């Protein structure tokens, strides 16, 4: 690894875990749930004890897309118009995570058989074994940090473009700006469900639990792809008052052009 990471620093800090928990909760609230699940809430979140491995691959000037985003709505020459400065920097990093981070959730499983809302069952879900190994961009400019996941390290697209620089804004890799073409960012993730003892063995119940697990997996992958995978990114503003504020920028497909608060906005993704 290139970075030395004090993972226990954030693991031992309850306020950071709490902040992530709140963040995930508000995201979950805006997810349109299927008919068979109600009141899904995050009950616990932990960073675990195992840190990701981060390897620095390249240091370059930031991509033009980040400047376009900073200058959105401004006319060239306006106050606040940002032009590239020699001190702006971009890191291409490889992040490998195979740690013991976990999220637990609680909710109600609704049985719509033999009639609508026939039974409601309390349910607990544990998300564990999250693994990914991806290339990421971290850019610093205009007192803002941009973080975007590019693709999995074994994405076939990486073999195709040996001859050209990876981060060429006009190259095959960065140019299409289409998400979902690349292979999944999340390599592994387990969702284990726990329901009352007396319902195990009921086939219809377990079938719906499996659906719910599948649903949540898809939701989580969607979250990553839509909000932090290229051509979207997380934007941390380090200037002035909004020090702690975190917002989402990038080329949101349904975006309004303005920066969207990551805990706001509705998500209309439906499942089959």
Partner 1 sequence: LSDEQSQIINSILEKTYYNTSADKSESLDWFNVLVAQIIQQFRNEIWLEKETVIKSLNNFLNEKDLGDLLGPITITEIDIGDYFPIFSNCRITTVSNSVGKKNLQAKIDIDMNDRLAFGVETELMLNYPRAAFATLPIKLNVAIVRFQGCLNVSFTTAEDFISKSSDTKTTTEPNNENDKNERDDENGYNLIFSFSPEYQMEFNIESMIGSRAKLENIPKISSLIEYQVKKWFVERCVEPRFQFVKLPNIWPRSKNTREEKTTPTDN
Exposed/middle/buried for 72, CB within 10 Å: 0-12, 13-18, 19+?
exposed
* Least distance between partner 1 and beta carbon 54 (Å): 7
- Comparing CB distances to partner 1, the nearer of 9 and 168 is 9
Report helix, strand or coil for 130: strand
Stretch that binds partner 1, among 50-58, 109-117, 127-135, 217-225 (CB under 8 A): 50-58
Question: Residue holding tokens 């960073």?
Answer: 47
Element (H, E) at 122: strand 119-141
Structure tokens at 25: 């909760």
Question: Residue holding tokens 């941009």?
Answer: 146
* Least distance between partner 1 and beta carbon 2 (Å): 3
Question: Residue holding tokens 């906005």?
Answer: 265
Chain residues 141-170 in contact with partner 1, contact rule CB under 8 A: 145
Neighbouring residues of 79: CB distance < 8 A, sequence distance ≥ 6: none
Neighbouring residues of 125: CB distance < 8 A, sequence distance ≥ 6: 104, 105, 106, 107, 191, 192, 193, 194, 212, 213, 216
- Report if residue 10 touches partner 1, rule: CB under 8 A: yes
* Least distance between partner 1 and beta carbon 125 (Å): 26
Element (H, E) at 57: strand 53-60
Stretch that binds partner 1, among 32-40, 54-62, 119-127, 153-161 (CB under 8 A): 54-62
* Least distance between partner 1 and beta carbon 261 (Å): 18
* Least distance between partner 1 and beta carbon 23 (Å): 12
- Comparing CB distances to partner 1, the nearer of 1 and 50 is 1
Report helix, strand or coil for 69: helix
* Residue 217-256 contact track with partner 1, rule CB under 8 A, x = bound: -------------------x--------------------
Stretch that binds partner 1, among 8-16, 29-37, 206-214, 261-269 (CB under 8 A): 8-16
- Report if residue 13 touches partner 1, rule: CB under 8 A: yes
* Residue 60-99 contact track with partner 1, rule CB under 8 A, x = bound: xx------------------------xx-x----------
Exposed/middle/buried for 71, CB within 10 Å: 0-12, 13-18, 19+?
middle
Residue 137: C-alpha distances to residues 140, 166, 240, 260 (Å): 10, 11, 24, 20
- Report if residue 49 touches partner 1, rule: CB under 8 A: no
* Least distance between partner 1 and beta carbon 165 (Å): 12
In the complex, the residues that contact partner 1 under the rule CB under 8 A are: 1-6, 9-10, 13, 16, 54-61, 86-87, 89, 145, 236
């Amino acid at each position: 690894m290139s970075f030395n990471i004090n993972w226990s620093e954030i693991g031992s800090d309850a306020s950071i875990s709490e902040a992530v928990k709140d963040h995930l909760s508000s995201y979950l609230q805006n997810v349109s749930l299927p008919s068979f699940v109600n009141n899904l809430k995050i009950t616990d979140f932990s960073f675990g004890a195992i840190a990701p491995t981060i390897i620095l691959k390249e240091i370059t000037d930031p991509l033009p897309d980040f400047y376009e985003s900073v200058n959105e709505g401004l006319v060239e020459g306006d106050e606040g118009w940002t032009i590239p400065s020699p001190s702006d920097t971009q890191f291409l990093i490889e992040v490998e995570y195979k740690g013991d981070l976990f999220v637990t959730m609680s909710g109600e499983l609704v049985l719509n058989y033999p009639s609508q809302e026939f039974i409601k069952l309390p349910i607990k879900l544990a998300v564990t074994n999250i693994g990914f190994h991806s290339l990421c961009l971290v850019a610093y400019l205009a007192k803002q940090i941009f973080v975007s996941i590019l693709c999995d390290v074994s994405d076939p697209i990486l073999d195709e473009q040996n001859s050209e620089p990876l981060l060429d804004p006009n190259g095959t890799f960065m140019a299409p700006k289409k998400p979902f073409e690349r292979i999944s960012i999340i390599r592994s993730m387990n969702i284990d469900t726990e329901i009352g003892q007396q319902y195990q063995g009921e086939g219809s119940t377990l079938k719906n639990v499996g659906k719910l697990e599948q649903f949540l997996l898809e939701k989580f992958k969607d979250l990553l792809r839509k909000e932090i995978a290229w051509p979207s990114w997380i934007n941390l503003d380090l200037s002035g008052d909004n020090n702690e504020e975190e917002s989402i920028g990038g080329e949101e497909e349904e975006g309004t052009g303005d920066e969207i608060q990551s805990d706001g906005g509705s998500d209309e993704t439906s499942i089959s």
